[in-house]
């Protein structure tokens, strides 16, 4: 298994309960084929440029281990989740 880091940028209108639900959804998805090491809510931040007409957004950082094949499924679910504005998954060096 490889180590990964993923940041998702969430619509700023999502409340705390919605953020917790997103966190649990993706933690569960990652744990199916890997292991979540940590999840950090980095709070609301001003964006460098507008994305989908938002000038600020909430950032969630996931550190996890997973099989390389499961990353495609994770990104697919990121793409179809309406509250996610942007996302990135990066493989960490050992």
What is this structure's pTM? 0.86
CATH numeric code, 2-85 = 3.30.70.60
Q: Identify the band that residue 14 occupies on the pLDDT scale cut at 50, 70 and 90.
A: confident
Give the burial class of 38: count Cβ atoms within 10 A of its Cβ; 0-12 exposed, 13-18 middle, 19 or more buried: exposed
21 DSSP 8-state letter: H
What's residue 8's pLDDT? Answer: 93
Strand partners, 2: 66
User: Going by C-beta distance under 8 Å and a sequence separation of 6 or more, which residues neighbour residue 37?
Assistant: 3, 63, 64, 65
Q: What is the mean pLDDT of residues 20-44?
A: 90
The sheet with strand 54-66 has its strands ordered as 34-51, 54-66, 2-10, 84-91
Which carries the bigger pLDDT value, residue 94 or residue 55?
55
The answer on pLDDT for 93 being more than 90 is no
Span 36-87, pLDDT tens digits: 999 999 989 999 999 889 999 999 999 999 988 889 998 999 999 888 999 9
* Every domain of the chain and the residues it spans: 2-85
Q: Is the pLDDT of residue 94 over 80?
A: no
């Amino acid at each position: 298994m490889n180590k990964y880091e993923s940041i998702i940028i969430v619509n700023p209108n999502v409340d705390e309960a919605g953020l917790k639900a997103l966190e649990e959804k993706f933690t569960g998805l990652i744990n199916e084929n890997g292991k979540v090491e940590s999840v950090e809510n980095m709070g609301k931040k001003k964006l460098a440029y507008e994305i989908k007409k938002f000038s600020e957004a909430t950032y969630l950082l996931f550190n996890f281990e997973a099989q390389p094949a499961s990353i495609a499924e994770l990104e697919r679910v990121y793409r179809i989740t309406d509250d996610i504005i942007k996302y990135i998954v990066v493989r960490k060096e050992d």
